[in-house]
Structure 1
Amino acid sequence: MEMQKDTLEVGKKLVDYCKSNQVLKAVQELYSEDIISQEAMESPEMPSQVKGLEAIKKKNKQWEDSMEVHSSQVDGPFPLGDRFAVHFKYDTTDKKTNKRWQMEEVALYTVKNGKIIKEEFFYTM
């Protein structure tokens, strides 16, 4: 499978935005209107799957509002065909419970026509 040029370009832009803490800007610029986001687990506040650009913006805003991020590490992109993976590590505190915890996840993104059409998050809690 040949790597598509736009997949790597989109992946690099996403990683740059994440490293500079501009996730909502990345969503606005790089995501398809019909984006599907799949989490490994659901929570009372958020279903495991959400669809559409506005739902993704809401999901990311909720994360920003509920978590204090002390540090983050973003590695990638790691491309293959029309997909790329990114490895994230976070040191966070939940603003509601004041509980501090470390999180690690791998995200798999699918690109079509220069836009991210699907994101999938792999992690354990």
Structure 2
Amino acid sequence: MNIREIAADMVAMTKAGDFHIGEKYWADDVVSIEAMDGPMARVEGKDAVMGKSAWWYGAHEVHGTETFGPFVNGNQIAIRWTMDITVKESGERRHSDEVALYTIEDGKIVEERFFY
């Protein structure tokens, strides 16, 4: 698959409610970088990033999402999401607006960065 086909597939998956694009596309040595401090700010390796993803979905109830994009430049893909979520621990319901920037090499995500 070329970069535009990967981007289109990632967006189609999320628009269909499947946010497990990483499990399909993460490289074994993927790096995930969040726009925050703390233990989840930078996670390295497919297993660790899968654990971070599982933690996030376990800590939040997702009521709805909208997907925008993809936006492609060279070997990078940007996708924007808006989400209606509840933080399970506090019960706080909030609206989130996030952009993910994926760097692709050999058909796999080698780095993902989140902006919110």
TM-score by length of 2: 0.92
Match of 1:55 in 2: 48
Match of 2:82 in 1: 89
The share of aligned pairs that are identical, in percent, is 33
1:28 aligns with 2:26: no
Determine which of 10, 19, 32 is the counterpart of 1:14.
10
In 2, the alpha carbon distance for the partners of 1:6 and 1:22 equals 21
For 1:23, what is the secondary structure of its paired residue? Answer: coil
> What displacement does 1:7 show?
1.5
> What displacement does 1:92 show?
0.5
Counting only pairs closer than 5 Å after superposition, residues 70-109 of structure 1 correspond to structure 2 as 70-109=63-102
In 2, the alpha carbon distance for the partners of 1:51 and 1:17 equals 24
Question: Matched residue pairs, number?
Answer: 116
> What displacement does 1:84 show?
1.1
Q: Which amino acid aligns with 2:88?
A: K
> What displacement does 1:19 show?
2.1
Q: Which amino acid aligns with 2:86?
A: T
Structure 1 gaps, min length 5: none
Q: Which amino acid aligns with 1:80?
A: N
In 1, the alpha carbon distance for the partners of 2:11 and 2:33 equals 19
> What displacement does 1:106 show?
0.9
The answer to whether the 8 A contact 2:3-2:104 is kept is yes
TM-score by length of 1: 0.86
Match of 1:38 in 2: 33
Structure 2 gaps, min length 5: none
In 2, the alpha carbon distance for the partners of 1:42 and 1:6 equals 34
In 2, the alpha carbon distance for the partners of 1:38 and 1:55 equals 12
> What displacement does 1:22 show?
2.2
Match of 1:120 in 2: 113
